[in-house]
A = this chain, B = another copy of it.
Amino acid sequence: MKKRLTVDMDGVLADVFQQFIINHERDFGQRKTLEEIAGLSEEEAFPKTREYVFTKGFFRNAPIIKDSQEILARLNEVYELFIVSAAMEFPNSLGEKQEWLNEHFSFIKWQQMVFCGSKTIIAADIMIDDHFKNLDHFHGVTYLFTQPHNKLTDPGRHTRVNSWQEIASLLL
């Protein structure tokens, strides 16, 4: 029986930090580097975070995190895969996120998508996420995907992964 694997969207598949950087540069004329925002929450790094995430197109046009398409396609063969995104906070994002997945990860069927508010309700064997608030409540094996906001924090009981190539070497 295949193990059930849940994969987060924002900060794991969708490069929302790049979206923040692009939006911030447009508004403030300054391009923040990943180094200078390391350890900062999104709100600390980008003062207009809340405005950006409620803007039409923010999630629809997010860049794709390197290697995620190819490696997720391979994981989809080996695991019972679900994409689990905490999308409920941003009402506009629901349709955009589904369209984004359909375009960039067309091998993911609608049966494999979950949009929720809290991930405490998710039952699976393995979770890949960039937020401690999601991983800390999860009872299975946990992988912390490195993003600027979690870069300086001790991963604790979670295994830190810095790239999709690292995920491939651990899970394939």
Contacts and interface: CB of A to CB of B under 8 A. Distances in A.
Given A88-B113, A88-B114, A114-B117, 7 more contacts: A88-B98, A88-B110, A88-B115, A109-B117, A110-B117, A114-B121, A122-B123
A33 interface: no
Contacts of A4: 121
A118 B110 CA distance: 9
Given A116-B114, A116-B115, A98 B91 contact: yes
A131 B117 CA distance: 23
**Best-buried of A89, A94, A99, A122 by chain B (most CB within 10 Å):** A94
A95 B88 contact: no
Contacts of A117: 109-114
B113 A82 contact: no
Which of the four size classes fits the interface of chain A?
20 to 34
B95 A95 contact: yes
A95 B56 CA distance: 13
B118 A121 contact: no
Contacts of A114: 88, 114-117, 121
A124 interface: yes
Nearest to A109: B117
Interface string A106-141: 000111111111100111100000000000000000
